[in-house]
Amino acid sequence: MSDATGRPIAGQATDDYALMPAVSVDRGLLVDFVAAIWPELAPEIRIRAFWWMRAGPEHAVAAVHRASGAMAGLCGGRRCVFVIGGRDLPAVAICDWYVAPGHVGRGLGKRLVQHFEAPERFLYAFSISDAAIANFQKLGWMGPHRSSLMLLLVPPVLAKNLARLRRREGLSFDAHQRAGGEPLGTLGDALDRIEAQRAGAPAHMRRGAAEWSWRLSVCGERRYRFGVARRDGEPVGYVVVRRMTPGRSGALDRLRTAIITDIVAVRDDPVVLGALAGEAAALAADLGARAMLTATTAAAHRAALARIGFISPATPLVGRVLASRAPQFMWLPRGPGQRLSAGDLSLSFADVAIDLDL
C-alpha cells in the first residue's frame, strides 16, 4: 500500500499506469483531469465538492499515466460497515468512477474498481450512469435495479397537521442539529440504541454513532436536522433532513429543496415510519423548503412516504419522470454479496456518497 505521499500502491501498478491515493495527486494534474471530465464546470468548484478530499487516503484511488504524468482515472470508495445476515462486514460503495477520454479502452476502469475488492468485503454502487452499468455488468455485478425516487411539495399547513398526527400516535420526538465536525453527544447514544434493535433487518449500512461521526467529519458545510422518535422513552427510529447544497440542480434550487438523508425505524414499524415521515415534512418546512426529495429501496419506507403525499414512481404521469431518474443500484455477487437479491438490500442517500454530493 501507499501512504499519502503519492508513492504507488504495491501490487497495483502496471507498465503504463500507477495507482495511488487520489488525495496525493498533484493539484495541477487533478485540475486538468476534472476539466476533461466535467468541461462545463469550473474545476475548483468540482474539486471542493469531492468529499474524499476531506477523508483518509484509502477512500479514493487515482491512476497516473507513467509516460506523461497525467492523471488518467479516478475511483472513489465510500467505506462503511454493512450488516448482512446478522454479521458486521466491511463494505465499499463505489462512486466517482471516471477514466479520462484519452485513456479509455485500456482496462483502466476495471483495475480501479478491483482495487477495492477483498474476499470478505461487500462491494456495491448506487446512483450510477448507463456507461458505468455496462462496465459493472462486464465485471459480473448483479443488476441494475431501480430505487424509488420520491418527491413532496411541502406546504407549511401540511407539515403542521402531520406534526399533530404524530402526537396522537403516542410518540415523542427529540430535535437535534449537527454540522460538520460537531460532536454527537447524547444523539450518538440514541443512534446506537436504535441500531442495536435492528436484528433481522434487511442488509443495510450500520448507522450508529461511529458512522455519523465520520460523516460529520467529511460533510463540509452541510447542517443536518435529526428527529429521533421515542416510545415510552426508548428511541425507536430517526429521520434526518437538510437543505440541498445550492448549485447542484437548477430546478431543485428554485424549489428550495430539502432532502431526507436517512429514515430508520426499528423493525420498519409502519406507525413509527409514518410519524417519521411527518416529522421530516415539519423539519423541511422549518428550513423554508418548498419541496422534499429522497430515494429508497425499502418498500416500507416508500409506503410511509406515499401516505403523506410523496409522489413515487407508481404515481400516474409524474411518476414516470421520477422512475426514469431514480438511482440504480448494483453489487458484486461474491463473498458477502453472493446470495443477496435486490429485495434484500435497504439503501438510501445515507448508504452511499449521494448525501455528500447533493
Burial of 6 (0-12, 13-18, 19+ CB in 10 A): middle
The yes or no reply on domain 148-326 and CATH 1.10.1040.10 is: no
Contacts of 25 (CB under 8 A, 6+ apart): 6, 62, 64, 71
Over residues 141-167, the pLDDT tens digits come to: 999 999 999 998 877 667 666 656 555
Backbone angles phi, psi at 265, to 5 degrees: -130, 140
- Say how far apart CA 256 and CA 172 lie, in whole Å: 28
Q: What is the pLDDT of residue 290?
A: 86
Over residues 268-288, the pLDDT tens digits come to: 999 999 999 989 998 998 888
- Rounded to an integer, the average pLDDT of 188-213 is 93
Query: pLDDT category, 187, cuts 50, 70, 90?
Result: very high
Query: pLDDT category, 13, cuts 50, 70, 90?
Result: very low
Residue with cell 462496465: 135
Q: What is the pLDDT of residue 6?
A: 41
> For residue 257, what are the β-bridge partners?
291
The CATH superfamily holding the domain 17-146 is Gcn5-related N-acetyltransferase (GNAT) (3.40.630.30)
Q: What is the pLDDT of residue 166?
A: 56
Q: Do domains 17-146 and 148-326 have the same CATH topology?
A: yes
Bigger pLDDT: 100 vs 129: 100
Of 94, 156, 358, 158, whose CA–CA distance to 241 is shortest?
Answer: 358
**Distance of CA 22 to CAs 175, 184, 242, 353, Å?**
37, 29, 28, 16
Query: pLDDT category, 199, cuts 50, 70, 90?
Result: confident
Over residues 15-46, the pLDDT tens digits come to: 799 999 999 999 999 999 999 999 988 999 88
Listed by start position, the domains of the chain span 17-146, 148-326
Contacts of 107 (CB under 8 A, 6+ apart): none
- Say how far apart CA 179 and CA 332 lie, in whole Å: 33
The type of residue at 265 is A
pLDDT at 86 over 60: yes
Q: What is the pLDDT of residue 255?
A: 65
